[in-house]
Amino acid sequence: MRFHPLSVLSVLPFGPLSGIATPFASHWDDLREKHTWNSVPENWQNLGYPPADTTIDLHIALKAKNENALIDALIEVSSPGHPKHGEHLSREEVAELVAPPSDMLELANAWLEHHGVHPSTISTKHGGSWLTLMGVPVSRANELLRASYQLYQHVETNDTVLRTLSYRLPVALVEHVQNVAPTTHFGFPRTPRQEPFMRRGGATTEQTKVLGGEPGTVLSSRDQDVTPSFLRWFYKTSSYVPSAVDRNVLGVVGYLGDQPSPDDLRQFMNEHRSDATSATYSVVQIKGGGSNPSNPSNEANLNIQYTSAIAYPTTRIFYSLGGGDPLLNWLDYVLDLTSVPQTVSTPYSIPEYKVPLDYATHVCNLLAQLGARGASVLHSSGNDGVGHGNCLVQDSSGNSRVQFIPTFPSTCPWVTSVGGTTGYNPEIAASLSGGGFSVHFPRPSYQDDAVPTFLLNLGGQYNGLYNPMGRGVPDIALQAMGYPIILKNRHKKVSGTSCSTPTAAGIISLLNDYRISNGKAPLGFLNVLLYGICLEGLNDITSGSNPGCNTDGFSAVPGWDPVTGLGSLDFERLVAILSRW
C-alpha cells in the first residue's frame, strides 16, 4: 500500500550556519516538537493504523541560508523606479537564493543516514532546498519523525489520507527545517458546502454562501446575467486585441481532478463571443489530474470559459491536479519549468486557521518564488464574508475562541487576493466577499499606508475578532454574482469569488500582453503596483459589507477595506499608467 504526500516541504530563509558539526548518534534523540494538533482536526475521523507494508513519500524543506534574499529580490523586480524593476529571475537564480547552507544539507543527510535512509534514495530539488525520500516504510517515518502515522477519513467526502497529529525533529535541525510533508496538514478536501449550490431563480436572487472560492450555482434565467460582453464593457477591455499571444500564457489551476470540457467551451463562445469560436486550451495533468473532459466540473468550466472570453486569443493552460496536496504539487511542477505562465488564476481556498503555520509559510515562500520569476498570481478570497457560522475556532493547543476567518492562500502577502462585487452604477461589495486579516502573516510594507487608515476609522469595533497587525485581504474585487456558464450542454449560473478571480486574471493577462507586445517585462507580482502607481487605475468601491460570524462584517469605505480591497480594475486607465513605465 502506498500513499503520496499531500504536502511538500518548505524552506524559508534564515541566517547562515557556521561551525555546525555532525552530532553523535545519541544527539539525534534530543528532539523538539515541530507541530502538533491536540485533537483530530475538524471533520476528520481516525481509521487507525495502516497495513504494515504501507510506504510513504516524504519531503523535507530546508530553510534558505539568507532569510531576506528572496523577498528582497521579489520587491526589487516588482517596484517601478527600482533599477532592477522588471528583471525577473530565472529558475536557477531563484534556486540559488533559496538554497540552504551546504553544511546544513550535510547535517540533514547524516540524520537520515543514521535512521537507515541511504543517500542514493534521496533526491534534491530547487537548489537543494527540497529533499524527497521515496517509498519510506511508515514504521521508519514514525521513527524518523517520532510520529504516529494513521489513516484519517473526511466525514463528508470520504477522502482518506495518511497523516500524523504531531512530529518532532532533532534540536540540531529543527530551526533549519521549514516543514516536513505529509505530516500535520490534512489537505484540501472538497466538502458538500464547497460544491456549487443549485436552485431555481435568477441572478438577482443568488447571494449564495459557499466556502473556499467555489461558485454557487442556479439554473439560468437568461436575464440580469454578468456575461462576458458585460464584463468586457464594464472593465473596458472590449477594444483591445492581444498581439503577444505566442509569448504570453494564462494558467488556470484546477484541484481535485477538476477538468473543463472543450465542447462546453465551444458552445459558450458561440453564445457569448462569436468572434472567438475557435478558442482552445491545453491541459497539463499533474499527480492524477482529471483525464475525462466529458465529466467537467462547474469550477473548471467557469474558469476556462471566462478566461477564454476575456483574454482570447491568449494562450491558456489548464493544470489539472489530482488528490493529495494539489497546491504544493502544482508549485513543485511549475517552479521546475524553465519559464512560468505570466498570469495564474487559482480560485480555491481553505480557512487559514486549519493550515499549520510551517506549511503556510512554505507555500507562501513558493508563491514568492513564482512572483520573482515574473508571474502574476491571483487567489480568490473566499465566499463567507468574514467567516462562516459561529466562527468558534480551535487552535492546535485545543483552545477555542470566536474569531473572523480569512482564507489561505489568499492571505499570503505574495499573491493578489480577489474579492467580489455586484451591480453597477454603482458597483458595490458582494456580501459573500471574503475579507479580513491574516493570523499567520504580518502586514506587508506595501500595505503600510492603506490598511492603517481603514483601521483608524474602524476604531474599536470588532476588537479581539481579528489581527490588526495582519496582512489584509482582499487586494482587489470584481463582479462575482450571476455568471452564466455551460456545463454538459446545459445553461447554469454561478456566483462567488471563483467568478471574480478568473475575470481579474483575464484582465491582468491582457495587461501583460500590452507590456510584452511593447517590448517590456510582464507585470509579475502585482501588489506593489496596485498599492502604488496603479492605484489611480482602480475603481474604489464604497458601499456594501461582508457579514459573517453572526456580525455585520466589515464595510466597504473610501480607500482600502477588507471587503473589496482597493476596488475593481479599469483596463484603459491601467494601460495609460503602465505605458509610462
Output the known binding site for Ca(2+).
540-541, 559, 561
Q: How far apart are CA 345 and CA 508, in angstroms?
A: 10
Q: What letter would DSSP give residue 320?
A: E
Per-residue cell: 400: 477555542
Q: Which residue has the cell 473543463?
A: 260
CA atoms within 13 A on the CB side of 156: 10
Which secondary-structure segment (H or E) carries 174? helix 171-174
| Cell numbers for 321 | 491536479
268 CB-near residues (< 8 Å, 6+ apart):
301, 305, 308, 309, 485, 486
Q: In whole angstroms, what separates CA 214 from the centre of its chain?
A: 13
**Distance, CA of 453 to CA of 358 (rounded, Å):** 31
Joined grid coordinates for residue 263: 465542447
DSSP conformational letter for 447:
G
Binding site residue list:
540-541, 559, 561
The 10 Å CB-count burial string (b at 16+, else e) for 180-202 is bbbbbbbbbbbbeebbbbeeeeb
Count of CA atoms in the C-beta half-sphere (13 A) of 154? 14
- The backbone torsions φ and ψ at residue 334, rounded to the nearest 5 degrees and listed phi first, read -70, -35
Ordered alpha helix ranges (H), 416-570: 450-458, 497-517, 527-530
Closest-CA residue to 485 (of 237, 102, 222, 289): 222
341 burial via Cβ count (<10 Å: 0-12, 13-18, 19+): buried
SS3 content of the chain, % helix, strand, coil (to 5): 30, 25, 45
405 and 393 Cβ atoms separated by less than 8 Å: yes
DSSP state string for 382-445 = -SSTT-STT-EEE-TTS-EEE----EETTTSTTSEEEEEEE-SSS-EE-TT---EEEEEEEPPG
CA 116 to centroid of chain Cα atoms: 36
